[in-house]
Amino acid sequence: MIQPPILNPNPPEAPSGTPIHPLAAGVLVAVDNLWNLADWAVVTWWVTVPLSFLSVFVPTLWFQRRLRKDRWGSAVAKALALGLVAAIPTSLTGTPVGMALLAWAGVDRWRR
């Protein structure tokens, strides 16, 4: 007698409703708060702006590709968006965005 194929009893978990991995949002908040140190030294912005961008872009790309299993295009777009928010030379933009993303992840996790 032919047996039907055995289906996976534990299907992979559907991705949560948050578009950004919580670790990426945490990196955004951390790097954005480092702007408090560079706000006073405008002459060093040519160094701190690219470093802020890269220090958020690279980890976000990795988190989105490896942990969220996003496709390359989606992961690059999300990393680019968070990197640009982090590169704004003030700590007033990235912190609210990052905290909103973290809150969204917390509410989504609580709801499940």
In a domain, 80, yes or no: yes
| pLDDT digit string, tens, across residues 89-111 | 877 788 888 889 888 888 877 67
Q: Residue 53 has which token pair? A: 């961008």
Boundaries of domain holding 76 = 22-111
Q: Record the pTM.
A: 0.77
Q: How many distinct structural domains can be found in the chain?
A: 1
In a domain, 98, yes or no: yes
In a domain, 13, yes or no: no
In a domain, 4, yes or no: no
User: Residue 40 pLDDT > 60, yes or no?
Assistant: yes
What are the C-alpha distances in Å from 104 to residues 29, 60, 70, 75, 94?
A: 14, 17, 18, 18, 15
